[in-house]
Structure 1
């Protein structure tokens, strides 16, 4: 385990001991204050988006691209630092009752970009809006922690029964289904962001254009040229505006990593993630230290549509998983320091019942190299159980991206070599790809998951029956029961034990086949300073600045 991962583990262990009494935060001094070398023009060009985000209304946000933009424009009750520690956000302090089943958040004086005050009602409205069954929000399940949240979302309770209440403009009382000491950390996630009630009720499409977008974070929307770029500018209404040095952030949509790399080399882009690092150049750029790679607690894998034959059969799914040489993929295809995954919960994720990482506390689910004989045997048995003599034609889907394409082609060759199966490949634009997966209009497809918060649960509850993120359409009553048990306990030993047992079931059923655990590959010009990269995958430019170059 790397030194950085050891550090993460220690920090993340502390995360679960979130401040249960009044919580305050010390703000660091202004980034670049007194620095005579500050560039006159504080305009940052970021090449981290390949296409249009699916939605910038917290109700519709569902991916890393949406999360990247929302992290700059919006702020929740709490925020987190780069190591995952919970800090005050719009709530300047909070306290919990004795068993952490109730929290009271006290809001600071903050304003929306249009000058309206940010109120407790904006949070109550946003959370109940997320749970409203008419809205079919993908992330509604993240608010099932609230008393009657799940029941309301399923039409079994009234909206007034939901455990969130604006006591007054500056006080929000939250009642939970079960004791949840880490709840403040969840409020930093974009599914729990506030929404300006007055604006949203006046215009249901308020988040679709720059002219109507209202935010409460460090930046606000200046321009949204659909399918081309998003431009943000400093929000002068932000309560920490003195800390914000960047006056404008340009997010051009860079569809091709080679183009992105050329733009970075020519100075058109100042920084960006793996989106501007061509896969065939990754290793050399890392070796030359032109690119950087940090271990990232995130997983890349394959979702099987468990409602579509023959992937209705667990043996067939396992056969395809066992036919993959994960070691070859990370060494010969991705080449960014990734680790072959032997489970769905990734490296760097803590096990709060021990002093070890989660991945060190279970048996190896998958070997790094392929097991062709075992895979062929399982495939034959699975097809027979489904009443099939031969493997039908299946298509592996992925969103358009040079890196995903190379992984898909490598997988195609492995399935041919190790299973004797011909697999078709289909690529599509990001939004179309997401829609097809959500609707179940696919056979099997690539997937990737970055943590919504630092806890194994963020990788587990997404595969519960009916979850908005359960694109595999997986359903197992024992798995669901164990996840609910983990969510209902305040005892970390019980929580972790239940989730380990749930992952045992999940890796036997294999609705998702893990491929590798991520690293965060990125490039950044020397003159770009103080960009904050959190262990949960978020990037923050709130205190970033540019020096002369």
Structure 2
């Protein structure tokens, strides 16, 4: 997609920064600035512009169509929902809604919008903007992969699946200065769920006028702390402070620049050279982690993250339509060896798809490394010692860690099952399209929680979930997971999810590998950037100190 290049009015120093970064991203040199020129981070500190390594090139800046964390990192700067999450505690805090009331039965929510909430063009944000956005997200023609997050709202699922054709039947009402929402049943995490970008409001006139081009610079109108300034494909996305943002007095940055650096080694070199303030690629090279632990531990943020790294299996393809084959593959992987010898970044071996949380879900049953029983299962499926098992592809996206993990798993499957696997590497956008179109046999996958509740993982494998890329469907599993939304207590939810987990362990539509750990580098000058389980970092509290 082409982008409109706009000038970035931060003095002539920006020209030197862009010259340096072009050299970095062309992978010819690191930064060819002369010693007399100031480091880019030092310029950013003076100009109050945060420079972030943001992984892959963003696929979309549409809050209802984006799927990757690299997209959301930018979108959360440009838009704001009814609620937000506190950067340290992840507690729910007010966003566009300055307050809300909940009925005694927990079924009805009334959100009172701020009078000073405005779009970046100065127009007021109204309840109708939320109504339009939510109708668009649920419209089957939109095909938003995150539409199922709305299904706790009355009749939202029925409208999304075409059972109901009138959005007026959905439990959302736009009233003067407030939005009223009626649920199918009470759920404890609804307020936290509303902080997800799919619930953000949208400016209807902009979308009507520009159609698919509405997210381009010069077109996009948001309501967040920042507004889109520039998007140069494969170079950077830049945003500037929104003068109409309701809480602008607490926005300390003049701008943010997001740089698509897929390779973790290049990202670390950019950080070390002083070209970026932050790295956002979670799997740093182990050698670099150890180096920073020894020499500059204050620059390294190591944080457990509520996420799962796993392999999707296309269960529609033979012989992977046989659960015995899928279980054999899962049991032939030594996860302990994987995290100790390959990733070595603080990851935790994953015996289940869903990581434990302290309140609701701690799995009582797990997958274990058991090559002997894996071989028995493969024999029962008709492939003794791997004989006549077809060679298949393992799909991964760009990234050294993905290649290393896939290579290790490839070797384990050959060693323990005599199964041959070929690795196929794709850049991010092509990779995502292949997954969405189910054009793969086995594929790398990962999920970062939308909020701190295990259902954010379990719901991705529902039969009707657009995030379910496995072609797997199980009515019993669907029933259990859907009942969690209506559970009256954490104890009841825990029992339902344990039963759902047992189905996953038996069926194995996905092969859990490990629970990731964020290993990010943060310059000393960055203040107000707090590590947390969801890797959620509101930018309005972040500031840069030139004294460090």
Instruction: Tell me by how many angstroms 1:141 deviates.
Output: 0.7
Which residue, out of 315, 334, 344, partners 1:335? Answer: 344
Q: Distance in 1 between matches of 2:455 and 2:415?
A: 36
104-113 or 276-285, which deviates more: 276-285
Q: Counterpart of 2:302 in 1: which secondary structure?
A: strand
Which residue, out of 44, 51, 65, partners 1:45? Answer: 51
Q: Is the 8 A contact 2:314 2:441 kept in 1?
A: yes
Q: Counterpart of 1:468 in 2: which secondary structure?
A: coil
Q: How does 1:85-484 map to 2 (within 5 A)?
A: 85-108=91-114, 109-157=116-164, 158-168=166-176, 170-274=177-281, 277-288=284-295, 289=297, 290-347=299-356, 349-352=357-360, 358-359=361-362, 362-367=363-368, 370-383=369-382, 390-484=388-482
Corresponding residue of 1:79: 84
Q: Is the 8 A contact 1:232 1:249 kept in 2?
A: yes
Q: Distance in 2 between matches of 1:141 and 1:383?
A: 38
Where structure 2 has 5 or more consecutive residues not aligned to the other structure, the ranges are 1-43
Q: Distance in 2 between matches of 1:78 and 1:426?
A: 41
The Cα offsets for residues 324-381 of structure 1, whole Å up to 9 and x where unpaired, read as 111111111111111101111114x2334xxxxx22xx324123xx321111111222
The Cα offsets for residues 282-305 of structure 1, whole Å up to 9 and x where unpaired, read as 344345424221111111111111
Residues 321 and 45 (structure 1 numbering): CA distance in 2 closer, same or farther, change over 3 Å? same
Instruction: Tell me by how many angstroms 1:390 deviates.
Output: 1.8
Residues 303 and 546 (structure 1 numbering): CA distance in 2 closer, same or farther, change over 3 Å? same
Q: Distance in 2 between matches of 1:405 and 1:414?
A: 14
Instruction: Tell me by how many angstroms 1:182 deviates.
Output: 2.6
204-213 or 392-401, which deviates more: 204-213
Q: Does 2:496 correspond to 1:498? A: yes
Q: Distance in 1 between matches of 2:444 and 2:257?
A: 29
Instruction: Tell me by how many angstroms 1:227 deviates.
Output: 2.4
Instruction: Tell me by how many angstroms 1:280 deviates.
Output: 4.4
374-383 or 148-157, which deviates more: 374-383
Corresponding residue of 1:355: none
Q: How does 1:509-520 map to 2 (within 5 A)?
A: 509-520=507-518
Q: Counterpart of 1:274 in 2: which secondary structure?
A: coil
Corresponding residue of 1:540: 538
Instruction: Tell me by how many angstroms 1:475 deviates.
Output: 0.4
Q: Is the 8 A contact 1:279 1:402 kept in 2?
A: no
Instruction: Tell me by how many angstroms 1:431 deviates.
Output: 1.0
Normalised TM-score (structure 1): 0.88
Q: Distance in 2 between matches of 1:351 and 1:101?
A: 23
Q: Counterpart of 1:407 in 2: which secondary structure?
A: helix
How many residues end up aligned between the 2 structures? Answer: 498
Q: Is the 8 A contact 1:326 1:341 kept in 2?
A: yes
Residues 304 and 283 (structure 1 numbering): CA distance in 2 closer, same or farther, change over 3 Å? farther
Which residue, out of 51, 64, 69, partners 2:69? Answer: 64
Q: Counterpart of 2:464 in 1: which secondary structure?
A: coil
Q: Distance in 1 between matches of 2:486 and 2:160?
A: 18
Q: Is the 8 A contact 2:238 2:256 kept in 1?
A: yes
The Cα offsets for residues 46-85 of structure 1, whole Å up to 9 and x where unpaired, read as 11x2222221111211111111111222111000112221
Normalised TM-score (structure 2): 0.88
267-276 or 390-399, which deviates more: 267-276
Q: Counterpart of 1:262 in 2: which secondary structure?
A: helix
Q: Distance in 2 between matches of 1:210 and 1:275?
A: 29
Q: Counterpart of 1:272 in 2: which secondary structure?
A: coil
471-480 or 375-384, which deviates more: 375-384
